[in-house]
Copies of this chain bind each other. A is one copy, B any other.
Amino acid sequence: MFKTAVEMEKAAMILKLLGDKTRLTMVKILDSHDCCVCEFVEIFKMSQPAISQHLRKLKDVGLVKEERRGQWIFYSVNKNNAYYSFVAEILKQLPDQDEKLKVLEENGTRMTCC
């Protein structure tokens, strides 16, 4: 089933990170689509620094990784992370967030930026 159980300390740390609605939704979205910061700014109607700070926390524990593409920095889930399978089991149980991206495409925000 699972190679090895996640340590309690690490598990609690991951859960605390995911225990924020914004970050949880980010990870759920990133699990199926790469996104850049400006898309999240649109989706969550939050300031750019607030978004960047959430992404920083996710990056610091290795849950997401970043990749610059020209002017933009794209984030994606780091599926090689030791805790990815732990996280994936949680994400599985969450509702699809694709309609959030669809809204961006409809109002053109997705195209403009990325």
Interface residue ranges, A against B (CB under 8 Å): 1-2, 5-9, 11-21, 24-25, 28, 85-86, 89-90, 92-97
Measured CA separation A97–B8 after assembly (Å)? 10
A5 touching B90, Cβ below 8 Å: no
Of the candidates B5, B17, B95, the one whose C-beta lies within 8 Å of that of A94 is B5
A95 touching B8, Cβ below 8 Å: yes
For A21, the closest partner residue in chain B by CB is: B12
Of the candidates B8, B18, B24, B94, the one whose C-beta lies within 8 Å of that of A24 is B8
A21 touching B2, Cβ below 8 Å: no
Smallest CB separation, A8 vs chain B (Å): 6
B8 touching A12, Cβ below 8 Å: no
Measured CA separation A20–B86 after assembly (Å)? 16
Smallest CB separation, A53 vs chain B (Å): 17
A7 touching B95, Cβ below 8 Å: yes
